[in-house]
Amino acid sequence: MSFNPNDVDLDTADPTEIICYLNKSENDYNGQLGARISAIFVIFAVSTAVTFFPVVAKRVPRLHIPLYVYLFARYFGAGVIIATAFIHLLDPAYSEIGPQSCVGMTGNWADYSWCPAIVLTSLMCIFLLDFGAERYVEVKYGVCREDPEPIMTSAVDNSTVDKASPGNSRKSEADVEELSTTDTLIERSFKQQIAAFLILEFGVIFHSVIIGLNLGVTGDEFATLYPVLVFHQSFEGLGIGARMSAIPFRKGSWLPWILCSLYGLTTPISIAIGLGVRTTYNSGSYTANVVSGVLDAISAGILIYTGLVELLARDFLFDPHRSQDNKRLAFMVVTMLWGAGIMALLGKWA
């Protein structure tokens, strides 16, 4: 017998049927097509520009962007990433597939609390990938924790040294070795950091796809959601760009610009897809909740690990080159807290 919401006896009704009925929603699309189309271009322009800013500030020194402006972008972005993990991903995942949701109370989903299990699995997988990448680089370049310098041989063969000018030849050998060491350290640092960054962007893009689809089909909430998502995507973009700016890409590399553009395009493309299915897509359906809940839980695990380990712990606790200037350190911490606070506040609407 199907559930009849107009005839419910609270003493005998199945709580699961009631919750599933309350959670289920219709397609709320209510027009405003022009404004929704404008969101594609506005969010693309604003979020892409903000994502590019930290990268441009670091890679184009002739712009003379003040240090504290760059530090603000970098650590505000770090706070945003952490708040996104908990407020914009973990909490929605629980509401979509958690124990008190329609999905979490039906079928095999009711047998175990799968939401935290997915988050834990995602986090551990990212740890293993990060650890594996770092260990691979250590083995390849012959470095270890106790001996931070790479084991390497001179780029100049001693047998070919000009014996007529031993002083100059030894100086030449030292210069070449120093240059080679610098290049090796940069390459090692790049390979250690790029894997973690790609995982971070992967997690953020998952989230961007879901909110882009929802903006394309949402109903009366559109007027509020539109400006909120402009800030939301801009702040997330700032986090992406700030993290990317710390990676030592080779001079002239196009990869940072490509990765920035990829983030900037994700939500606009998702909005366009949402508009394409605006009459059929139901964000409150059982299937949509399963898909978005699983993706949110996976992304939450990725961003929790990345935010706490790659951003906070690595930059503030374990960086041997961290600034000793208390004023600068206080600015970095306050900026990070501000980013986390503002992004957490945006969670009230999106």
Helix 114-141 with 286-305: angle, nearest 10 deg: 40
Region of poorest pLDDT, from 174-188, 213-227, 253-267: 174-188
| pLDDT at residue 204 is higher than 90 | no
Mean pLDDT in residue range 247-252: 81
SS3 316: helix
Question: Which value, to the nearest 10 degrees, does the dihedral of the CA atoms of residues 301, 305, 307, 310 take?
Answer: -150
Cα–Cα distance, 79 to 18 (Å, whole number)? 38
pTM, 2 dp = 0.78
Sorting pLDDT into bands at 50, 70 and 90, what band is 186? low
| Domains of the chain, residue spans | 52-142+178-348
Q: Where are the beta strands (DSSP E) in 204-342?
A: none
Q: What is the pLDDT of residues 10-48, one digit of tens each?
A: 666 667 777 777 666 666 777 788 899 999 999 999 999
Sorting pLDDT into bands at 50, 70 and 90, what band is 5? low
Give the whole-number percent of the chain exceeding pLDDT 90.
Answer: 33
| pLDDT at residue 315 is higher than 50 | yes
Give residue 162's Cα distance to chain centre.
Answer: 54
CB-based contacts of 218, cutoff 8 Å, min separation 6 = 28, 29, 225, 283
Other beta carbons within 10 Å of 347: 17
Of the ranges 92-106, 210-224, 273-287, 311-325, the best mean pLDDT one: 92-106
Q: Which of 72, 46, 57, 64 has its CA nearest to residue 239?
A: 72
Which pLDDT does position 205 carry in this prediction? Answer: 86
Region of poorest pLDDT, from 22-26, 124-128, 194-198, 227-231: 22-26
